[in-house]
Structure 1
Amino acid sequence: MEKVTSLEEIRNTAEQSGFFNYFSESILSYAQLHRFEANEFILYEGQNPDYLYFVAEGQAKAYITHSNGKVSLVNFLYAPCFIGEMELLNAKQKTVGIQAMVTLTCIALPMEQIRKTLLDDPVFLRGLCIYLSKKADNNSRIYTHNMAYPLENRLAKFIQITAHSGIYSEKHTEASEYLGVTYRHLLYVIADFVKKGILQKTIYGYRIINIEALNGLASEN
C-alpha cells in the first residue's frame, strides 16, 4: 500500500471523485491518499479499520468466512463508495475482508480522529443515509436478479466484472456461492462457454476469446 500526503493531490482526487458530496472542506486536513495494488487487501476479515475510506477510483470485492470454514464472496465495491462506514457508526462487530481487484485509490480519514466530527455533521449523516439506502437496494436487486435469470446470463455478467486483461480466474467455490448455484452447475456452464468458443482454458484460468458473445449474454440480464 502506498501512502500519499500531498495536499494538492488529495484535493484533486477529492474534487474529481465526488468526495465533497459527503464531506465538508475542513475534513480534508485529516486526509491521506492510500493506493492499493490489485489483489492487495484493504481490510482483513475481523480487522478493526483504522481509517474510514472513501474509494475514489477502482473496484474491490468483499469476503466473509462462515463458522464451518466456508468462504463466501459477499459483494463488489465500485468507486465512489465507502469502506468502514458501518464501523464508524459502531454498527458492525465483525468486519468482512476486502480485497482490491484493480489499483484502488482511497481517501483515508483516521477513524478515531474524525468519528465525533462526522457523527455531529448533519450533511455527512444525510449523505451517508442516502448511500446506505442505495447500498441496501442494490443488495436486494442482486438477490432478486439471481432468482430471475438463467445462470449463463449471470455468469457472463460475473465474468465481465471479475476478468482482468481478458482472463477470468475467480475460484469456482466462491463464484458458485455468489451466484447461488451448485459447484457442478457452474462447471457445466463454464464448460459450455468453452465448447461454444467464448472461453479458452489456460494455466491462469479462462481467456475470453469471444467478447461479443460474452457481452451479448451479459446484456440479456
Structure 2
Amino acid sequence: MREIQDQDKLDLHRRKFQLDEVFSEASLKKMKLFKVEKGEVLCSKGDRLSHMYFLTEGKMKIFALSPEGKALILRFKTPFAIIGDVEYVQDTEVFHTVQFVTEGYMIGIPLDDLRKIEGGNTTFLNFLLEIITAKFYTETNASTLNMLYSVDVRLASYLLSLSDDGKGSMFHEEMHTSSLQELADVLGTSYRHLNRILRQFHEDGILERKRGLISVKDMDRLREKADGNIYE
C-alpha cells in the first residue's frame, strides 16, 4: 500500500462518497489517499489498526481462518466500504483478515485523530451506526449461506462475488486448477467434492476448464445456480 500525493485525486474520491458531510474540516485535513495492489493484505486477525479506511475503488474479501489454517469467506466488499469502524468503537484488535482481490484505492484517517476530533460529532456517530448495522446484516447473510446452502450454490455465489459489479455481469477472473484445494477450504468442502461440482458445471456449459484454468462461459446459468445469493 502506498500513499498517493495528489490532493485533487483525494478530493475527488472524498466528495464522491460525500465524506465532507460527515466529517469536520479538521478530520478532512487528516485524510490521505492510498493505492493498494491486487492480492495485498490490508490487515490480519490480531493486528492493531492505526487508521480507519474507506474503500473508494476496487474490491476486497474478508475472511476468517480456522486453527488449521483454512479460510472461510465472510463477504466481499465494494465501494463504499469501511475497515476499522468496529475497531474504532470497541478499541479492539482486528478480528478478520482483509485482502484485495483487485487493485484499488482507499482513504485513510488515523484512529487517534478521529477519537480526538469526532468523538462528540453526532453526525459521524450516526454514520458509524448505519455502517455497523449494515455490516451485521451482510455477515449474518454470509453465515447463513455457508451453513444452509449446498456447495454448488456456494460456488456459484463465490464466482459471482468475484465479478466487477458483484452481480456477475462483468466477470473477468480465471482460476488456476492448482488453487482448487484453497477454494475447497473456503467453501467448506472437500477437494474431491468440489471437483465433481466443477465437472457438472462444465457439462452444463456454465464453466470451461482448459489448460489449467477455469473460466465462466454462461453467466445467466451461474446466476440461476446461485439462487439469488452472493457473498456481499
Q: Shorter chain as normaliser: what TM range? A: 0.7 to 0.9
Once the 2 structures are TM-superposed, how far is the Cα of residue 180 of structure 1 from its aligned partner? 4.5
1:54-108 Cα shifts (integer Å, max 9, x gaps): 1112210123333333333332222101111222224433442211111221111
Q: Which runs of 4+ in 1 moved over 6 A?
A: none
Give me the identity figure in percent: 23
User: What TM-score do you get using the length of structure 2 for normalisation?
Assistant: 0.81
| 1:167 is the counterpart of 2:151 | no
Q: 1:177 to 1:124 in 2, by over 3 A?
A: farther
Map 1:1-221 → 2, pairs under 5 A: 1-20=1-20, 22-162=22-162, 165-169=172-176, 171-202=179-210, 205-218=213-226, 220-221=228-229
CA distance in 2, matches of 1:150, 1:52: 36
Distance 1:169 1:115 in 2: 44
CA-to-aligned-CA distance 1:12-32 (integer Å, 9 cap, x gap): 111112434543343110011
Q: TM-score, structure 1 length as denominator?
A: 0.84
The residue type paired with residue 87 of structure 1 is: E
Say whether the 8 Å CA contact 1:57–1:104 is kept in structure 2: yes
Cα deviation for residue 168 of structure 1 reads 3.4
> Deviation at 1:188?
1.8
Residues 1:156 and 1:37: Cα distance change in structure 2 (over 3 Å):
same
Residue aligned with 1:89, SS: helix
Cα distance in 2 between the residues matched to 1:5 and 1:95: 30
* Structure 1: gaps spanning 5 or more residues: none
Contact 2:63 2:96 in 1 (8 A): yes
Secondary structure in structure 1 of the residue aligned to 2:11: helix
| Rounded Cα–Cα distance in structure 2 between residues aligned with 1:38 and 1:204 | 21
Cα distance, 1:109 vs. partner?
0.4
Q: What stretches of structure 2 of length at least 5 have no aligned partner?
A: 164-170
Paired with 2:132 and 2:181, the residues of 1 have a C-alpha distance of 29
Q: CA deviation at 1:211?
A: 2.9
* 88-97 vs 105-114, greater mean Cα deviation: 88-97
Across the aligned residues of Structure 1 and Structure 2, the Cα RMSD in angstroms comes to 2.6
Partner AA of 2:17 in structure 1: S
Distance 1:220 1:68, change over 3 A: closer
